[in-house]
Amino acid sequence: MTSNKQFISGDEAVALGVKLSKVKVIAAYPITPQTIVVEKLSEYVANGTLDSEYIHVESEHSAIMATLGASSTGVRTFTATSSQGLLYMAEGLPFVGGGRFPVVMMNANRSVAVPWSIFGDQNDSLSTLNFGWIQVYVENAQEALDMIIQSYKVAENPAVMTPVMVNLDGFILTHTYELVDIPEQSLVDSFLPPYVATNKMSLDNPQSVCIGVGPDWHTEFRYKQHKDMTNAIQVINDVDAEFGKKFGRKYGGVVETYHCDDAEAVLVTVGSVTSTARAVVDQMRQDGYKVGLLKLRFLRPFPIEEFLSLNDCVKAVGVIDKDFSYGYEGIIYTNVNSAIIRRSNVPVTKNYIAGLAGRDITKEQLTDMYMDLLHSDKNSNEDRVKFIQCKVG
């Protein structure tokens, strides 16, 4: 295949992914640091290079509900937001998730006020884990573009029919530039055919959508929603493998492991910090340390199996959280712990709170985390939750 590499930002890569996916309706409201996505998309629509309706909505709540309105007629849709906007549309998220419509949304991970910050952390999307969306966290601009395309294929699978949120670290990914391979439209078309909706309003066959269900049948609808999302793990892995064959790039499915097979200490990372951690693993391996990296790509559905199948040589697992659930611990840590506790051999787990509201996570900090894990003692009473380089604690 011909290679068309461009030097673009994460936001621009997302916009290109949406254009290549031939989305038919976009409804979005601008918010830093997502703005470049919607600006590029309106440029494509204005130039006729993307044949899509672009709805200028007056708020994020209207953005998600207009997107849902369009999706309910059976067309491929897209929206994008960040932080405050994600929370403003929060009511709409379970509408799409529970209503079972294959919307794809890009979220620029940004800190949630108050205190107010435009910089990146992951509290926004992690606070919405329960609303029935598949959530993937990408590491770089290439993965961002590729995952937009993969997400439509996963979401629109009739056995899945679940929306997907594609998360990019705010500014670190949305606004930094890298060389990205832009696939040919014809190749994308052969991978992602037009959306054939099974769940839609139709003039030939009128339906009532987003219906109410009383106590007598509600549990059964919810159980089905849960089972369909869990079954999506297989679809996610299959779609990634198929993408790899066609485009020459694959990402490992729900997780990607790096040097975990004989690792004694493993760090779990979500998002762009994975790249830095990989470099640290390489350096520490050279220095003789048995360390590994688990890139947790999907937070929902949660990859329980991948944590159960970590080898018993893993004595300590550290989870980096660019978020926090006040009064308790990091959200990813809670999720990982609940999987790890199902093992017969349970390693010690530690939570490193870092990178809040755009603070850098450095190689030195990551090295310290690994050393801390390698020296950790299961029987120690020390606090498992550590705020990294906190000036006051």
Partner 1 sequence: MIRPQISKFTGPKNLNEVPVPTAPGGVLIDKNAGWRNVRPVFDYTKCVNCLQCYLVCPDGTIYKSEDKLVVDYDFCKGCGICAHECKLHAINMIPEEE
Partner 2 sequence: MNNTMVNIKELPEEELFYGHKACAGCGGALAVRLALKILGPRTFVVCPANCMSAVGFLYPSMPFFVNAFASAFPCTGAVLSGVEAGAKAQGLKDFYVVGTAGDGGTADIGLQALSGAIDRNSRVIYICYDNEAYMNTGVQESGLTPFGAKTTTSPVGTEIKGTLTHKKSMFEIVAANNISYAATASIGYPQDYMNKIAKAKANQGTSYIHVMAPCPTGWSMATDTTVSIAKEAVNCGLWYLAEYEHGQFKLNKDPKQFTPVKNYLSQQGRFKHLSDDQIAEIEHHRDVKWEKIRADWK
Could you tell me the smallest distance in angstroms from the CB atom of residue 218 to partner 1?
10
* Closer Cβ to partner 2, 23 or 291, answer by number: 23
Residue 25 binding partner per list partner 1, partner 2, none, with a CB distance cut-off of 5 to 8 Å that depends on partner kind: partner 2
Residues lying near partner 1 in the complex (CB under 8 A) are found at: 98-100, 161, 199-200, 205-211, 213, 217, 220-221, 223-224, 227
Cα 186–chain centre separation = 26
* Closer Cβ to partner 1, 217 or 326, answer by number: 217
Could you tell me the smallest distance in angstroms from the CB atom of residue 101 to partner 1?
9
Residue 96 binding partner per list partner 1, partner 2, none, with a CB distance cut-off of 5 to 8 Å that depends on partner kind: none
Could you tell me the smallest distance in angstroms from the CB atom of residue 240 to partner 2?
29
Tokens of 132: 């029935």
* Closer Cβ to partner 2, 67 or 376, answer by number: 67
Could you tell me the smallest distance in angstroms from the CB atom of residue 199 to partner 2?
12
Could you tell me the smallest distance in angstroms from the CB atom of residue 212 to partner 2?
5
What is the residue type of 86? L
CA distances from 246 to 189, 236, 240, 242 (A): 11, 15, 10, 6
Residue 133 binding partner per list partner 2, partner 1, none, with a CB distance cut-off of 5 to 8 Å that depends on partner kind: none
H/E stretch holding 353: strand 348-353
Contact assessment for residue 273 and residue 285, using Cβ atoms and an 8 Å cutoff: no
Contact assessment for residue 347 and residue 314, using Cβ atoms and an 8 Å cutoff: yes
* Closer Cβ to partner 1, 211 or 392, answer by number: 211
Contact assessment for residue 83 and residue 323, using Cβ atoms and an 8 Å cutoff: no
Residues 188-247 that bind partner 2 (CB under 8 A): 201-203, 206-214, 217
Q: What is the largest CA-CA distance in the chain?
A: 68
Closest by Cα among 40, 38, 137, 23 to 78 = 23
Q: Does 348 bind partner 2 (CB under 8 A)?
A: no
Spell out the residues 6+ positions from residue 379 whose beta carbon is closer than 8 angstroms to its own. none
Residues 51-110 that bind partner 2 (CB under 8 A): 52-53, 55-59, 61-63, 65-75, 77, 91-92, 95
- Give the binding-site size for partner 2 (rule: CB under 8 A): 41
Residue 223 binding partner per list partner 2, partner 1, none, with a CB distance cut-off of 5 to 8 Å that depends on partner kind: partner 1
Residue 196 binding partner per list partner 2, partner 1, none, with a CB distance cut-off of 5 to 8 Å that depends on partner kind: none
Contact assessment for residue 274 and residue 138, using Cβ atoms and an 8 Å cutoff: no
First to last CA, the chain: 54
* Closer Cβ to partner 1, 11 or 228, answer by number: 228
Cα–Cα distance measured from residue 297 to residue 137, given in angstroms and rounded to the nearest whole number: 5
Placement of tokens 């693993």 in the chain: 281
What single string gives the DSSP state of each residue in 276-319?
Answer: HHHHHHHHHHHTT--EEEEEE-EEES--HHHHHTS-TT--EEEE
Q: Where on the chain is the footprint of partner 2 (CB under 8 A)?
A: 24-25, 27, 52-53, 55-59, 61-63, 65-75, 77, 91-92, 95, 201-203, 206-214, 217
